[in-house]
Structure 1
């Protein structure tokens, strides 16, 4: 008879981590839990490879609903701090690299570089949220959202085509203000405190409309960026889908090596 041995993996129980939520706080419970787990990872209380209890176990120990725990874990999975492995469970990611994210707009970046940004507002109205946008913003499908399409130029030359979606109850977005300021500056001006974001960068061939707007040949390769921004209460407040001219724009990342 043969037996199989698996290497032991540290498993941290919620009680050992002293997790607790404040039900009287206006901060959503899932965001409180996510922040505590994130702090435990940053401080080394949860080391790379550590296993968390499953969602049912965590929910029972903390007196939370399973969807609340699932949402907290999903937030940290999206940030790259946790990973779900089939047959293993939720595990702290083995990584030595942290990727800081600065919540700045292209308008502000161009202005800081002295490149004289201008904006052409192509579309600014309310409409039903596409399924992907509704899911990202935590809204019911087809819920009305503010839809803004802009062309960003530098010294009169097109640089990026920006599509943004915001919850309708956030604040009004006059086109005149969008033409003279970055979106994030406007959000801060209207009392929205931005806290964090989930962002992905890629590339693809541009559509005929995109290439025409950006002054690129048909089918030219364009850089893409999708971002979901969150306020200081953990609420998704903006979904952005942007395309940039690869011949004029690059993304730069600063990677910090730990240990």
Structure 2
């Protein structure tokens, strides 16, 4: 049976449309490639670069964030910079005001993966800015779940709850289950000695537990802020927080403490590698 003429014509039209689509796709890919060579157009990528600069301290806190300076240093378009700054303002990291410009509302504090809190010891970036208040310190019967966590049988542990503040503003709430036979008063003295000097982890561990620090392991999750936590950290209920589970051990592999720390997600970045014995100069 002879096929109608319009069938062949339809096939040729379809082929023509496919060629046009291929040509458009090729032009789009070429345009994207050329655009990438000239400037960054993605607000998300600009946001990441600016936020990283704030965390690293390369974005000065005492100066207005100039759009033109960011455009030049980041190689980004003005539109991308403006949208990125608005994203940071939505996070509460920067404040934007008409005529006054954009300024950093607060820094993003770096907490090393295996450290209790920020690097606040002598010579570190956060020296003198961190304060820690002990809310609770008492001996309790060790729950079975704690023994399962640490992999050892103990009758009692010391429950330690602390709140850390950076520049007077709440930064984290920490609950620790400490495996030690020291009496409470002695333990409190050992704890408080670290709150005036904030020594490196290995030194702090030696002071508190009277054993040599062997290492730590941790897990970090993002969760929603509950009511009591929101009150202590001065956050809105439901706001995101970073929950870190941390187990520290001595050189014999014996557990010293299981802790759970809730960090303000808008103010803290957990970075680096797990701390090992003798690590006091991590970058």
> TM-score interval w.r.t. the shorter chain?
0.5 to 0.7
Aligned partners of 1:136 and 1:236 also within 8 Å: no
Q: Which residue number corresponds to residue 157 of structure 2?
A: 145
How far is 1:110 from its partner? 7.3
Q: 1:241 aligns with which of 260, 265, 270?
A: 260
**2:200 is the counterpart of 1:186:** no
Q: 1:166 aligns with which of 166, 178, 187?
A: 178
Aligned partners of 2:113 and 2:270 also within 8 Å: no
Separation in structure 2 between the aligned mates of residue 254 and residue 239 of structure 1, nearest angstrom = 18
Separation in structure 2 between the aligned mates of residue 134 and residue 196 of structure 1, nearest angstrom = 19
In structure 2, the CA distance between the partners of 1:207 and 1:129, relative to structure 1 (3 Å rule), is: farther
| Larger gyration radius, structure 1 or structure 2 | 2
Q: Give SS of 1:234's match.
A: coil
Separation in structure 1 between the aligned mates of residue 213 and residue 234 of structure 2, nearest angstrom = 33
Gaps of 5+ in 2: 1-111, 275-283
Q: 2:247 aligns with which of 214, 219, 228?
A: 228
Q: Which residue number corresponds to residue 105 of structure 1?
A: 116
Gaps of 5+ in 1: 1-100
How far is 1:107 from its partner? 4.8
Q: What does the per-residue CA deviation read over 1:206-226, in whole Å, with 9 as the maximum and x for residues that have no partner?
A: 111111100000111100100
The TM-score normalised by the length of structure 2 is: 0.49
Separation in structure 2 between the aligned mates of residue 129 and residue 181 of structure 1, nearest angstrom = 30
How far is 1:197 from its partner? 1.4
Separation in structure 1 between the aligned mates of residue 121 and residue 156 of structure 2, nearest angstrom = 31
The aligned length equals: 154
Aligned partners of 1:211 and 1:217 also within 8 Å: yes
Q: Which residue number corresponds to residue 67 of structure 1?
A: none
How far is 1:200 from its partner? 0.4
How far is 1:132 from its partner? 2.7
Q: 1:114 aligns with which of 104, 117, 126?
A: 126
Q: Give SS of 2:206's match.
A: helix
The TM-score normalised by the length of structure 1 is: 0.53
